């Protein structure tokens, strides 16, 4: 008789139903509060612990050696007409800044030569400031180039048909480990060549004479030769 009473029945068959109802209730609360960004709570304690979650936007983008480019098709159409590709550059690398600066300086020098700006009075009046700007940009390009050649991963070459630069790298033709190994080998070869060149240059500089020393040697040798001719 005791087994027929509800209190005597085991609690295991009831737990799954209770857990299932709790899970459904929590899921429904999450669905209801998803649009408002509020965290569901239980009673007064849950109301105090509520917080708002900011809305996150996902945009399609690509990241390469030039930087991070985000594809915004509303603004990308204008960008495509200007630059010839879709997307907007969100963040650039030092390689992209070097390429852009190099191309802009080539275009500037081409304009100066084509229109004969060096003969203009305005150019002559502002020649000093223009030369200072060119020196500053050239030094900046040298810093970019030294940093790039230090790692030996990317090389630049001028485009044969248009005002642009071609980026050459082993990373585009082989796996990462093989490309890094080839780059290290090229750096070691370049280092050996530079050491040999510097050593040979130092040897020739040590054996070479200054113009004054050469003049003294020629004078003394001519005097000795004249004495030999006179006394012999």
Q: What is the pLDDT of residues 110-159, one digit of tens each?
A: 888 888 888 889 888 998 998 999 899 999 999 999 888 888 889 898 88
* Tokens encoding 53: 């979650």
pLDDT higher at 75 or 92: 92
Q: What is the pLDDT of residues 77-114, one digit of tens each?
A: 555 545 445 667 788 899 999 999 999 998 888 888 88
C-beta separation of 84 from 137 below 8 A:
no
Distance CA 37, CA 56 (A): 11
The domain locations on the chain are 2-48, 57-92, 93-178
Distance CA 50, CA 40 (A): 7
Identify the bridge partners of residue 165 per DSSP, sorted by sequence position.
158
Distance CA 160, CA 163 (A): 8
By CB neighbour count within 10 A (0-12 exposed, 13-18 middle, 19+ buried), where does 117 fall? middle
* Tokens encoding 56: 């996150």
Examine the pLDDT at 231 and tell me if it is beyond 70. Answer: no
Distance CA 225, CA 37 (A): 104
* Tokens encoding 129: 């400031």
C-beta separation of 72 from 88 below 8 A:
yes
Q: What is the pLDDT of residues 167-209, one digit of tens each?
A: 989 888 889 899 889 988 888 888 888 888 778 766 555 555 6
Q: Is 62 helix (H, G, I), strand (E, B) or coil?
A: strand
- The model's pTM is 0.55
Lowest mean pLDDT among 17-21, 47-51, 84-88, 170-174: 17-21
Average the pLDDT over 46-50 and give the result: 52
C-alpha distances (whole Å) from 105 to each of 138, 148, 202 are 9, 19, 35
Phi-psi region of 57 (alpha: psi -120 to 50; beta: other; left: phi over 0): beta
């Amino acid at each position: 008789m005791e087994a027929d009473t509800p209190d005597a029945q085991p609690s295991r068959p009831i737990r799954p139903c209770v857990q299932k109802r709790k899970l459904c209730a929590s899921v429904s609360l999450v669905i209801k509060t998803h649009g408002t960004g509020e965290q569901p709570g239980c009673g007064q304690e849950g109301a105090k612990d509520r917080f708002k979650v900011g809305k996150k936007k996902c945009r399609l983008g690509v990241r390469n050696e030039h930087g991070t480019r985000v594809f915004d098709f509303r603004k990308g159409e204008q960008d495509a007409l200007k630059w010839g590709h879709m997307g907007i550059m969100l963040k650039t690398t030092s390689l992209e800044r070097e390429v852009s600066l190099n191309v802009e300086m080539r275009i500037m020098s081409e304009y100066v030569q084509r229109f004969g700006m060096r003969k203009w009075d305005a150019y002559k009046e502002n020649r000093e400031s223009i030369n200072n700007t060119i020196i500053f940009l050239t030094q900046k390009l040298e810093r970019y180039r030294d940093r790039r050649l230090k790692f030996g991963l990317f090389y630049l070459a001028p485009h044969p048909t248009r005002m642009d630069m071609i980026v050459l790298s082993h990373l585009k033709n082989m796996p990462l480990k093989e490309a890094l190994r080839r780059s290290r080998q090229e750096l070691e070869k370049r280092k050996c060549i530079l050491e040999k060149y510097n050593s040979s240059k130092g040897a020739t500089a040590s054996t070479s004479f200054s113009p004054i020393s050469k003049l003294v040697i020629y004078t003394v040798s001519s005097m000795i030769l004249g004495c030999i001719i006179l006394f012999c």
